[in-house]
Amino acid sequence: MSGSLKLGTQKETIKHTGSPFDTTTASLTKRAGGHEGLAPRAIDVAAFSHSKQVEKPSPKKFLKRGTGIGGMLAPVATTTVVKKSKPKDFQAFSERPNPPNTQLRRFYERGDLPVQIDHGGVHNRIAWKVDIQKLDFHHYLPIFFDGLREMEMPYAFLAEQGVYDMLSAGSAKVLPVIPQLIIPIKTALNTRIKGVIVKVLKVLQALVACDQGTDGQALIGQALVPYYRQILPILNIFIRNNDNLGDTIDYGQQRRENLGELIVETLEAFEVNGGEDAFINIKYLVPVYQSVVVT
C-alpha cells in the first residue's frame, strides 16, 4: 500500500436511546460526585511549609543595551500589550462526574418499576401500575431519590415526578425512610451541577413540608436535623451564587432557577420545620444564614 494507515482506539460512547429494551452501558470506575474529573493543579509548597519556590531569573527579563529610553529628548512611542489575567477556576464550583449508573435507570431498563409515562394533555404524567399507598417506600423511594441526578429523558422526568407523587400521596410513610434518603441526596448535591442542585433543593422543600397537612408536627423536618452535616456543606458553597442582572428583568424568575435565592428558601424551610435545634445547626454549617423565625 502506498499510503500509511493509522489505527486508533475508538472512543467509548454511552448507549442511551430512551427505550426500556436497551440497557445503558456505563463505566463503573467513575464515582458520582468524585474528584476524578478535576484538572490537577501544581501544589503550592509555601502553603504547607516555610519553604518558598523561587523562579530562577532569566537574562531576557532585563533591558539590553540600546533598548532603553534614557537620555532621549523625545520618548519613543512604545506599545505594550497587556495580557488579561484569566479568572481563577475555583474547583469548589466546578462540576463533578455524573455517570449514568443510577438505580432508577437500572431498574427502569429492567422493567422492575411499576411506572410508565402517560403522554396525555399539556404535560406528561406518570401512570402508576400499583396504588402508591400500597408501595414499599423503603424500597422504591430511595430508588427515585437516587435518580434525581439524572439529566437524560425519560429518567430525569420519572425520578422527579415520581418523588413528588410519592411525597404527596404517601406522606405518612416517608418519615421512617429518611435515613435511606441521605446518601442519594448527598450524591446528587456533590455533582455540583446547577440543574441537579436546583432539582434537589425543590424536592427538599417539598420533603420537609409533606407531613404538615396530617397533624401539623412537621416531624420530617426535625428528622433531617442530624443529617445537616451531609446536606448543607454544598449549600454553603453556592449560597452566594446569585444572578446580577442590574436593571434588567428576569423573565425566568417564575422557574425558580436562581441558585442563591433557592438555597436561602430551602434553609428557611429547614428552620421553620426543623424545630428548636434547626437554626443553631444551620448557622454552624452556613455562617451567613440569618434566622427568619420571630422569637
Of 128, 271, 270, residue with least CA distance to 206: 270
Q: pTM for this one? A: 0.70
Alpha-carbon distance 222 to 217, whole Å? Answer: 9
Alpha-carbon distance 221 to 88, whole Å? Answer: 38
Alpha-carbon distance 227 to 211, whole Å? Answer: 18
* 121: its cell numbers: 394533555
Of 249, 251, 252, 174, residue with least CA distance to 214: 174
Average model confidence (pLDDT) across the chain: 76
* Buried b or exposed e, range 131-167, using 16+ CB within 10 angstroms: ebeebebeebbbbbbbbbbbeeebbbbbbbbbbbbbb
Q: Indicate whether 76 pLDDT > 60.
A: no
**pLDDT score for 120:** 72
In order of 171, 222, 266, 276, the CA distances from 225 in angstroms are 18, 6, 13, 10
Q: Indicate whether 223 pLDDT > 80.
A: yes
Report CA Rg, the chain. Answer: 27
Please, which pLDDT band fits residue 191 given cuts at 50, 70 and 90?
Answer: confident
Does 195 or 214 have the greater pLDDT score? Answer: 195
Least confident of 49-63, 69-83, 239-253: 69-83
**pLDDT score for 21:** 52
User: Which CATH entry fits the domain spanning 103-285: 3.40.50.300, 1.25.40.90, 3.75.10.20, 3.10.20.600?
Assistant: 1.25.40.90
Residue 84 is given by DSSP the state P
**pLDDT score for 72:** 60
Rounded to an integer, the average pLDDT of 166-174 is 80
Helix segments in 111-227, DSSP class H: 137-146, 155-169, 178-190, 194-208, 219-223
Query: In sequence order, what are the residues at sequence separation of 6 or more whose Cβ sits closer than 8 angstroms to the Cβ of residue 190?
Result: 32, 33, 96, 234
Summarised one tens digit per residue, pLDDT across range 138-155 is: 888 888 888 888 888 888
